[in-house]
Homo-oligomer: A and B are copies of this chain.
Amino acid sequence: MHSKYAKRTNLIKPSELRLILTSSERPELISFAGGLPAPELFPIEEMKEASEAVLTHNGPASLQYSATEGFIPLRNAVIKRMEAIGIRSNLQQVMITSGSQQAIDLTGRLFLDEGDTIICESPTYLAAINAFNVYNAHIVDVEMDEDGMLMEALEKRLQENPQTKFIYTIPDFQNPTGRTLKLERRQRMVELANQYDVLILEDNPYGAIRFTGTPIPPVKHFDTEGRVIYLSTFSKIFAPGLRLGWICAGEKFIEKYIAFKESADMHSDSFSQRITAKYMEMYDLEEHIEKIKAIYNERCTTMLNSIDQYFPRNITYVKPNGGLFIWVELSDSVDASKIALKCLENNVAIVPGAAFYAKGAHKNTMRLNFSNSTPEQIIEGIKRIGEVLHRDLNRVDKSVEIAVY
């Protein structure tokens, strides 16, 4: 049989993350590799009550086909959440998706023709790049500093790429760097989008998980011409297993999103949508998020302190004000992929940063997740990584041969 695959199959790289996540299933392993929320915080008893209530009062509807755009009370709850952070919207501007990954995929489907340009942060969220690659996008990246994407560099890219469809940004506690785009740059990004007639895809899964500092309104808050498509998710504030995210955009866009979602999976899980809405009706989601933030803050602090204690001096890191990740830069000559393999031998998993670069990877970087490990695991895991880094440092210092490469 001849190969029948579409050309796009060549563009999907076997995810390094997948390999690491697979080995993460070893029970003795301490994993900082995934982006998993702390499962011990999931509101299990409340979910039992919510499931029971949904099945008792709306059993048939919760198991039946339902509207592609999503369950109205859930969309109303989403509208309320967004209103609290400075986004005004209505029911016709909100669609529920099967996780925000689907929102990213549908955005590619809706806007990208072969060869169209999208501009993203460098580094950025791996699975978004994979989704854009499905549509044969031309991906252009923009350097960041500690305050997010650099606006001068963004403008240069916009000038160089008149076929740009949208800017893809994760403004709050970015994956993988944990960096936050500062307020003036959010305003500037919208100005540039207006000026160069492009859209902005604002992917905001972590914004609600801020544990220090003052909240900054989302990019969508500054939107003057309906150019910002805002994505978020219940994955980090409630439960990722239910696969519930949402898109907020202009009504005309949402109409098309609905048509494409219909052909992608008809609608998101009716039962999970109703349970999530019921949970928010019966309990206080904000209170739950406060618990998550307190625990994540503790874990983040523990990890930062452990890094200071156990890592060599010649590294730098980003101290995040929220989210799930710490980004570490090793010295220039170090290949974090090799470090990651050695760490795995020592039963600790990390993701080498190269996986997050659309182009020209910085191989001396790595992403550490703190949300899915206890403080004890964090201390022990960072200690083990520290040992690997110190050994590597000694090896490089002693070996001229290797230092040449």
| Interfacial residues, chain A to chain B (CB-CB below 8 A) | 1-2, 4-9, 12, 14-15, 18, 34, 36-37, 39-40, 42, 44, 47-48, 51-52, 55-56, 59-66, 68, 98-99, 101-102, 105, 109-113, 116, 127, 130-131, 133-135, 165-166, 197-199, 225-227, 235, 239-243, 256, 259-260, 262-272
Residues of B within 8 A of A36 (CB): 64-65
CB nearest to A17 among chain B residues: B262
Given A47-B55, A111-B6, verify A241-B127 contact (CB < 8 Å): no
CB nearest to A241 among chain B residues: B270
Q: Is the interface of A mostly helix, strand, loop or mixed?
A: helix
Interface pairs A-B: 3 shortest CB-CB: A241-B270, A39-B60, A44-B59
Of the candidates B42, B48, B197, B269, the one whose C-beta lies within 8 Å of that of A242 is B269
With A9-B256, A48-B55, A242-B269 given, can you name 20 additional A-B contacts, CB distance below 8 Å? Answer: A1-B226, A4-B199, A6-B109, A6-B110, A7-B113, A42-B59, A48-B51, A48-B56, A61-B241, A64-B239, A98-B265, A98-B269, A101-B263, A102-B264, A127-B266, A130-B262, A134-B260, A241-B271, A243-B265, A271-B271
Residues of B within 8 A of A267 (CB): 243
Closest chain-B Cβ to A225's Cβ sits at a distance in Å of 6
CB nearest to A104 among chain B residues: B263
Of the candidates B7, B109, B116, B263, the one whose C-beta lies within 8 Å of that of A130 is B263
Residues of B within 8 A of A56 (CB): 48
Closest chain-B Cβ to A2's Cβ sits at a distance in Å of 6
**Complex CA–CA separation, A96 to B104 (angstroms):** 21
Instruction: Please determine whether B12 and A39 come into contact, CB atoms closer than 8 angstroms.
Output: no
CB nearest to A44 among chain B residues: B59
Residues of B within 8 A of A226 (CB): 1
Closest chain-B Cβ to A32's Cβ sits at a distance in Å of 15
Closest chain-B Cβ to A138's Cβ sits at a distance in Å of 14
Residues of B within 8 A of A111 (CB): 4-6
Of the candidates B2, B44, B263, B272, the one whose C-beta lies within 8 Å of that of A269 is B272
Instruction: Please determine whether A197 and B263 come into contact, CB atoms closer than 8 angstroms.
Output: no
Residues of B within 8 A of A61 (CB): 39, 241
**Complex CA–CA separation, A180 to B40 (angstroms):** 50
Among A60, A110, A112, the one with the most B-chain Cβ atoms within 10 Å of its Cβ is A60
Instruction: Please determine whether A227 and B39 come into contact, CB atoms closer than 8 angstroms.
Output: no
Among A7, A42, A68, A227, the one with the most B-chain Cβ atoms within 10 Å of its Cβ is A42
Residues of B within 8 A of A256 (CB): 5, 9, 12
**Complex CA–CA separation, A144 to B105 (angstroms):** 36
Residues of B within 8 A of A1 (CB): 197, 225-227
Given A269-B243, A269-B269, verify A263-B63 contact (CB < 8 Å): no
Instruction: Please determine whether A260 and B12 come into contact, CB atoms closer than 8 angstroms.
Output: yes
Given A42-B63, A63-B240, A65-B36, verify A259-B51 contact (CB < 8 Å): no
